């Protein structure tokens, strides 16, 4: 039965994810998993975020795509070690893929691991990757209906980034409606309003992540 197959797949994934989480905890590595639909601006966000924190943290990035390595190349040009994972048709990354990718990192010398998931607002949120935090990126050019259309993803988000604020006047996107819908679905989610092409709009988010990294490091004895 399909239900049993899906349950088995998720359970197997969770076993690996929990072992990764324990490893990240022992080593004091903060991990966030960034999720969005295609074109929302994840890669541009990570490019400019990396430029802000480079030299302050030891960072690794895992990029998931169905094919190609363009996004990984863009992020690595910012100066952070980046590994590309091609899923060959799968619409998400899973914990086994993350475990395999870690072989290429010096995990004993990482402060922050960023996972850029495959562009999709459905299945990536179902797969635990051992992360500390799920972050969803929503762009103004997508429409303000996405939180209500994909409530499961927004419910699991620890933070939501509303991107392309600079294009707000050229869309029918209601910032107030989007924020209200996000808070109705998940009142705990931290919301950031940014324009990923303008690094100066990323400082609040960068400081938020820096605080989380310090917190994770403080737990290591």
Domain ranges of the chain: 2-218
Lowest mean pLDDT of 21-35, 81-95, 98-112, 169-183, name the range. Answer: 81-95
pLDDT of res. 4: 44
pLDDT tens track for 122-165: 989 999 999 999 999 999 999 999 999 999 999 999 999 999 99
Residue 71 banded pLDDT, cuts 50, 70, 90: confident
pLDDT of res. 7: 58
pTM over 0.85: yes
140, 162 contact by CB (below 8 A): yes
171, 69 contact by CB (below 8 A): no
Residue 72: pLDDT over 90: no
Residue 8 banded pLDDT, cuts 50, 70, 90: low
Residue 201 banded pLDDT, cuts 50, 70, 90: very high
Residue 18 banded pLDDT, cuts 50, 70, 90: very high
The CATH class of 2-218 is: alpha beta
Query: Which is more confidently placed, 219 or 15?
Result: 15
Residue 1: pLDDT over 60: no
pLDDT tens track for 209-220: 999 999 999 988
């Amino acid at each position: 039965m399909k239900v049993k197959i899906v349950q088995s797949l998720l359970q197997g994934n969770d076993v690996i994810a929990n072992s990764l989480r324990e490893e990240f905890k022992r080593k004091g590595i903060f991990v966030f998993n960034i999720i969005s639909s295609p074109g929302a601006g994840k890669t541009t966000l990570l490019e400019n975020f990396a430029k802000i924190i480079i030299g302050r943290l030891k960072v690794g990035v895992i990029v998931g795509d169905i094919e190609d390595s363009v996004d990984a190349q863009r992020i690595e040009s910012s100066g952070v070690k980046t590994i590309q994972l091609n899923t060959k048709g799968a619409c998400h990354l899973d914990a086994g893929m993350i475990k395999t990718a870690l072989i290429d990192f010096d995990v004993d010398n990482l402060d922050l691991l960023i996972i850029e998931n495959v562009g999709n607002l459905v299945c990536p949120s179902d797969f635990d990757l051992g992360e500390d935090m799920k972050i969803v990126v929503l762009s103004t050019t997508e429409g303000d209906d996405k939180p209500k259309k994909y409530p499961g993803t927004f419910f699991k988000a620890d933070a939501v980034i509303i991107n392309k604020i600079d294009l707000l006047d050229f869309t029918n996107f209601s910032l107030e409606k989007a924020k209200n819908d996000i808070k109705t679905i998940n009142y705990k989610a931290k919301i950031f309003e940014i324009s990923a092409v303008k690094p100066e709009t990323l400082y609040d988010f960068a400081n938020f992540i820096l605080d989380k990294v310090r917190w994770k490091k403080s737990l290591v004895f």
